[in-house]
Chains A and B, each alone.
Chain A
Amino acid sequence: MIATYRTLLVGQFQQASQYRVSMFLYLLFSLIRPIIFLAAWSAVAAARGGAVGGFTVADFAGYYVCMGLVLHFTTAWNAYEFEFEVAQGRLSPKLLRPLHPLHYSVVENLTWKAFTAFGLFPALVVIAITFHARFETQWWNVALFVPSLLLGAALRFFLGWVVAAAAFWTTRVNAVVTLFDRTAFIFAGQIAPLALMPGILQTLSYVLPFGYWIGVPTDILRGGASLEQSLVWMAGQVAWLIASYALFQIVWRAGVREYSAAGA
């Protein structure tokens, strides 16, 4: 398995290095949304005399710099290509190979993240300086952040595949994906730190899986919560990861049986 992955990684890296510019263009997407909402919350904080619910502009900056990092390293778009592969019948040869189609996506995903990290870090540093970001990160925050980030990335990856598996039944995955994306947009901690979500929306953020994808790793890295609280959140991440993996297995097995290979 390690040898397989090494080969796939080398191949993917060679392919990726041909499209350096466009890879960095896509990096813009990881950066622009944190900046937008950071600027918006800064304006709100300014209107309220400097702080919103304990968050000063510096705290917002700390949050959104961490969020940019989390968003970038946990994002997964591979599922979007899946609709295309099913519709074109290009999934068929992949299904015949001894390797689960998922592994190609994992490698593609890792390569992109590794490549663009070089552009991401300087950009985040610039944002942190522009907004005078403040972090309350302690050593244990960093220690917990690494597994929390991996859990978030895995969770997002499997959730994406559960959504994409809809392509086995319908040709309108696009609509399903939009619904998923927009729900995540509200609840994942992108439009606001989860602590600032009003009333029922906050409860929903911690019930639904989305907060465990972005909000939780971000708050852990920023140092916005106690150690106990962080551990409870990570337990939530593990629970949702197991649930989404199980769901993926069920949906995928049922889906492959349903798959009729359009164009075959």
Chain B
Amino acid sequence: MIRRYGRLLALFAAVETQYELEYRVNLVFNVLQQLVVTGTSLGAVLILFSYTTTMNGWSVAEMLILIGTYYIVQGVADSTVGPSVERLLEHIRLGTLDFTLLKPANSQFLVTMRHFKVRNLFGVLTGLIIIGIGLVQLNAALSPLQVLSFILALACGLGLVYCLLHCLATLAFWFVRVENLLVIYGAFVDAARFPVDIYPGWLRLTLSSIAPIGIAVTVPAEAMAGKLDLLGLGAILVATILAWTFTSWFWKFGLRSYTGASA
């Protein structure tokens, strides 16, 4: 079962990579664009830190780790689930979801893991480099436990973003007219560039609950910076499992409202 889905995933990734490689100049421009975006957002943070040494308990080095984590989360989301659920919206609107539903594989897997934008993985690379710079600046011994909890928290964070994107796309079963619900994600994702604890109550709550992009970035960064306790790690783990369970249920529930192309 897992091997079969692994093979499918590898196949999808290979096909999409080949497709992307047809447009090599686009690839170069994409990398340049991402460098500009990363550079300017780093610049913005450095301007803030030209007036202070800590922001709500986050030093520059820790902020760099956070920004790096942000680009990893965004890079993974924009190269895998993001493009797939964007197509899902189209499929629901046009009724072409029929073809996907008829395929002999899990429909949730097929709609969220089918389309890739491999070029956005470059964001993950920049994220790793920025985390590296942050760690050097932090100049503290890195325990294996820290790395382990970072990996675990990051996996949870990615899971949460996956759930959010999939749930937003699933809403399209009822709100076909709403042009693009993913806009909500696009607007809130910007807020994850800073630790969630700097925001006022209602926004912090939003970024930790119904739009969990905030904790998806902040918690792994805390883990890497050695600021996360076991309780925090446990909390994000439980939250991810709950979100995952809800998302699969919500998808099946939504499918029942789908009427197909000709109906």
Contact = CB atoms under 8 A, between A and B. Distances in A.
Interface in A1-51: 18-19, 21-22, 25-26, 28-29, 32-33, 35-36, 39-44, 46-48
B50 interface: yes
Nearest to B186: A29
Contact of B51 (A28, A35, A53): A53
Contact of A19 (B39, B52, B179): B179
B56 interface: yes
Contacts of B232: none
Contact of A47 (B29, B44, B56): B56
Contact of A44 (B55, B180, B188, B199): B55
Interface string B182-223: 011011101101100011101100000000000000000000
Interface stretch (B30-38, B139-147, B255-263): B30-38
A35 B33 contact: no
Interface string B126-152: 000000000000000000000000000
A22 B179 contact: yes
Categorize the interface residue count of chain B: 35 or more
A52 interface: yes
B183 A182 contact: no
Interface in A146-162: none
Contact of B184 (A28, A44, A172): A28
A33 B191 CA distance: 8
A43 B198 contact: yes
Given A36-B194, A39-B198, A191-B44, A196 B51 contact: yes
Interface in A169-204: 172, 174-175, 178-179, 182-183, 185-186, 191-192, 196-198, 201
B54 interface: yes
Contacts of B53: 47
B250 interface: no
Nearest to B189: A32
**What's the dominant secondary structure at chain A's contact region?**
helix
Interface residues of A, number: 40
**What's the dominant secondary structure at chain B's contact region?**
helix
Contacts of B50: 198
B178 interface: yes
Contact of B40 (A21, A25, A182): A182
A52 B199 CA distance: 18
A104 interface: no
A46 B56 contact: yes
Interface string A39-74: 111111011100011000000000000000000000
A33 B44 CA distance: 12
A44 B52 contact: yes
A26 B186 CA distance: 10
Given A22-B183, A36-B191, A186-B43, A47 B54 contact: yes
A183 B41 CA distance: 11
A179 to B, nearest CB: 6
- Determine which residue in B25, B43, B55 has the highest number of CB atoms from chain A within 10 A of its CB, and name it: B55
Contacts of A21: 175, 177-178
Contact of B183 (A26, A172, A178, A183): A26
A192 B175 CA distance: 38
Nearest to A131: B200
B48 interface: yes
A47 B52 contact: yes
Contacts of A53: 51
Given A21-B177, A35-B199, A192-B48, 11 more contacts: A19-B178, A22-B178, A29-B186, A36-B190, A44-B48, A52-B52, A172-B25, A178-B36, A179-B36, A191-B47, A196-B51
Interface of A: 18-19, 21-22, 25-26, 28-29, 32-33, 35-36, 39-44, 46-48, 52-53, 130-131, 172, 174-175, 178-179, 182-183, 185-186, 191-192, 196-198, 201
13 contacts: A19-B177, A22-B183, A32-B187, A36-B191, A36-B194, A39-B199, A47-B55, A52-B52, A179-B33, A183-B40, A191-B44, A191-B47, A198-B47
